[in-house]
Amino acid sequence: MDNFFANFLDDYFAECDEHIINIRDKLLAIEAQINQPKIDHSLLDKLFVSFHSIKGLSGMVGLKEAEQLSHEMESYLRLLREQKVTLTNSGIDALINGTTMLEQVITAYHTQGNLPDISSILVQLKNLLSEDSTEPKESVNTTETTNSNVVNQIASLTLKEQEKTDLKLALEQGETAWQFEFIPGQEKAEKGINVNTIRERLQAIGKLIHASPMLRENGGVSFNFVVTTKDSETSFAGWDIDGLTYKPYLTTKKEEAPESELETKVEPIPSLSAILPVNPTFPIINAAGSTPSNVVRVDLTKLDELMRMVGELITTRAKFAENLKDLKNKLPAAELRTLRETNLAFERQLRDLREGVMRVRLVPIGEIFTRMQFVIRDLAKESKKQISLELSGQNTEIDKFVVERMLDPMMHMVRNAVSHGLELPDERISCGKPPEGKISLRAATSGEMVVIEIADDGRGVDAEAVINRAKKQNLIDAYSTSQIVDNNTILDIICSSCFSTREQADLTSGRGVGMAVVKNTVTELGGFITLDFKKNQGTTITIQLPLTLAIADALIISVMEQTFAIPQSAIREVIQVPESAIAVLENNEIIPYRQQVLPLIRLSEVFNLKNNQENYSNSEIKINQKFHRTHSSATKSILKLIVVGNGINAIAIAVDQILGQQEIVVRPLTDPLVQVVGLAGATELGDGRVVLIIDTLALTRIANSTIRIKNSLGNTT
């Protein structure tokens, strides 16, 4: 039974999440129409369906708080649909607050946390109903339109009052009530027949009045549904083959009334929360279920396992390719050619499989953007600022895991844009700006990376104030007043733990932990963050993240007879330059590159491959401070360089040999004893060798920090 409930609850949380995403989108669309003479009623209909579905599902799992919230919002929407009330700002506020609380309740239930207090939100929703109108009234003369025996039967039912009202109204409109029972089982689940698919079938033929689980005598569980429909029995007569039984729910003649109460009423039953253990631990099982849009829900853990198996296949194919090299002089040319063609076909098919599995994991980044619309709406009211939101690239797809990890960092950056970036209307007007500030959220795909931008047209970053504040907080003792401050310096400061430009924290910002969390999260996801700003013109934060984290194309290189892999997504270009082109500036090696100058990084020195040099504290690998060299024409005259990164974050990495390209499976270095700054993980090549994967972002940080430390030491001595 645990397996069944785990499956059902997984479906519950997944479906509620889909409905809440839909609700957010529709609420914001309706709010935009609030001052228009007519509201698009299709939006109201979709909202009503979503709240009604959450109400029914929550009732089935025994989450009464979610059921109550959904019911109150559904009731208000019913009045709007029937044009008995007019949509107001207070109504929109109540719906948005109710939706936010509804999501918190479901999340708390999912994580087995403490459920939030919903009493104040319920009062707000109930007051809204009492101010605008009342619940739809029952028929004035029910006994004249409905058989008196049926009225008595309805009165004796253990349905909720709203369900009784809905049942009466449906019967008055000539519909027939049916009671369906579904007994779930493993065999049915394998055929894609589960509680959700049955519920969707029933909703397709009529109105679902009631749904509830019941304990059976043998200890199993069944689900009872009450449905009203105008369709005849023939429309669902064949459903019994799927384990769904049915019978009339009410009789219209007194003499035909059933003797057993079980045939005319639903007995009180325990909720799922009462059936399940207090702290249930559910195994991860298949949560697939068909929906009208032909969507199959699959647990993310199963996709992780599928990606792992694809990775194993990629490693096996690489080994096969290496074995082919050994067979070059052992097989006839014709046989060898056939094997090579097979290997190439295998490689193409594996690449297609890899891309297919990756696409399954991808979700639109619009899921985050929609949430940000709610956040900005609330912040605008709290801060008394006028804010417009511009969205671009909502359909850009990224790994589901990355989306979930980036939700909180995105929320903090948006809060920062409102709190620190945008000015109050009067201040904007005095600066020659429109009173309404603008925040832009943009996303786009660039190769195997997703680029996300959070921009505002506010006051920008006051670099001098940031530096002074950092000195006051003893964050940059090594910096001198004569040092040139660039955007990287400012970014490093504002991403320092506990740094804040505010003297006191408020509800939106000022605690000095947010940007540090943002940068740490982005780094952990294999991405990097850049900052661009102009005083009184605005700020733009750009984040680049990999599409997926498990499998990547890589360039295999060699340095001092050690083999490394560099992810191709980070590589900008591979070039060769004469060593005479290297210049030394303030003890740093640099090279000219396309009208800019790049720091030169030698992996042999970063990883101490030449000799045992002194390591710095905290196990961090530092770039060797000895950069002055005597270059001899008799030795290496041409230097192979790999340019990685973009803009001010670009660096050139010196290597000895470029061995080729290969798909690699990224294995993170989880053991703290083997974690080294500058290394992102390890992978197995086709010949069985395990090689280390270069972390180009870490090398960029090392280069920048070393340059700054050297500059500060030079300025203070």
Q: Would you give the DSSP letter of residue 506? A: -
260: left (phi over 0), alpha (psi -120 to 50) or beta: beta
Cβ contact 453:396 at 8 Å: no
Return d(Cα 14, Cα 62) in angstroms, integer.
17
Q: Residue 83 has which token pair?
A: 């044009």
Return d(Cα 301, Cα 308) in angstroms, integer.
11
Q: Would you give the DSSP letter of residue 212? A: E
Beta-strand pair 176-182/221-229:
antiparallel
Q: Residue 652 has which token pair?
A: 């050139």
Q: Would you give the DSSP letter of residue 678? A: T
CA 215 to chain centre: 37
Counting DSSP H helices and E strands in the chain, the numbers are 21, 22
Q: Residue 85 has which token pair?
A: 């009330």
| Distant-in-sequence, close-in-space partners of 249: CB < 8 Å, separation ≥ 6 | 177, 178, 179, 226, 264
Residue 160, classed as helix, strand or coil, is coil
Return d(Cα 524, Cα 543) in angstroms, integer.
13
The amino acid that residue 300 corresponds to is L
660: left (phi over 0), alpha (psi -120 to 50) or beta: left
Residue 208, classed as helix, strand or coil, is strand
- pLDDT (0 to 100) of residue 386: 92
Cβ contact 249:170 at 8 Å: no
- pLDDT (0 to 100) of residue 673: 67
- pLDDT (0 to 100) of residue 300: 77
- pLDDT (0 to 100) of residue 362: 86
- pLDDT (0 to 100) of residue 539: 93
Instruction: Kindly give the parts of the chain with pLDDT less than 70.
Output: 1-7, 130-158, 190, 215, 217-220, 238, 240-243, 251-296, 475-485, 498, 500-513, 610-636, 648, 670-674, 704-717
The torsion defined by the Cα of 677, 678, 681 and 685, in degrees rounded to 10, comes to -150
In angstroms, the first-to-last Cα distance of the chain is: 73
What residues does each domain of the chain span?
3-129, 161-250, 299-502+512-549, 551-608+636-709
Return d(Cα 284, Cα 281) in angstroms, integer.
10
Q: How many CB atoms lie within 10 A of CB 598?
A: 20
Task: Choose among 660, 661, 655: nearest CA to 638.
Answer: 655
- pLDDT (0 to 100) of residue 84: 83
Return d(Cα 543, Cα 699) in angstroms, integer.
18
In the numeric block, the tokens 């004569």 are attached to 482
- For the whole model, what pTM was predicted? 0.63
Q: Would you give the DSSP letter of residue 667? A: B
Q: Residue 653 has which token pair?
A: 């990495």
Q: Would you give the DSSP letter of residue 103? A: H
Return d(Cα 210, Cα 693) in angstroms, integer.
57
Return d(Cα 16, Cα 24) in angstroms, integer.
12
CATH architecture for segment(s) 299-502+512-549: 2-Layer Sandwich (3.30)
H-only helix segments in 41-159: 41-61, 64-81, 89-110, 119-132, 142-145, 148-156
Task: Give the domain 161-250 fold.
Answer: Alpha-Beta Plaits (3.30.70)
Return d(Cα 527, Cα 358) in angstroms, integer.
18
Order of strands, edge to edge, in the sheet holding 690-694? 657-665, 551-559, 562-567, 690-694, 679-684
- pLDDT (0 to 100) of residue 138: 42
Task: Give the domain 3-129 fold.
Answer: Four Helix Bundle (Hemerythrin (Met), subunit A) (1.20.120)
The C-alpha R_g of the chain, in whole angstroms, comes to 32
Task: Choose among 679, 598, 698: nearest CA to 642.
Answer: 598
The torsion defined by the Cα of 603, 604, 605 and 611, in degrees rounded to 10, comes to 160
Task: Choose among 268, 275, 267, 227: nearest CA to 250.
Answer: 227
The torsion defined by the Cα of 576, 578, 584 and 585, in degrees rounded to 10, comes to -50
Domain 551-608+636-709: assigned CATH number: 2.30.30.40
- pLDDT (0 to 100) of residue 150: 62
Q: Residue 435 has which token pair?
A: 């009173």
∠ CA 181-186-187, rounded to 5°: 85
| Distant-in-sequence, close-in-space partners of 267: CB < 8 Å, separation ≥ 6 | 158, 214, 261
Task: Choose among 202, 181, 200, 211: nearest CA to 61.
Answer: 211
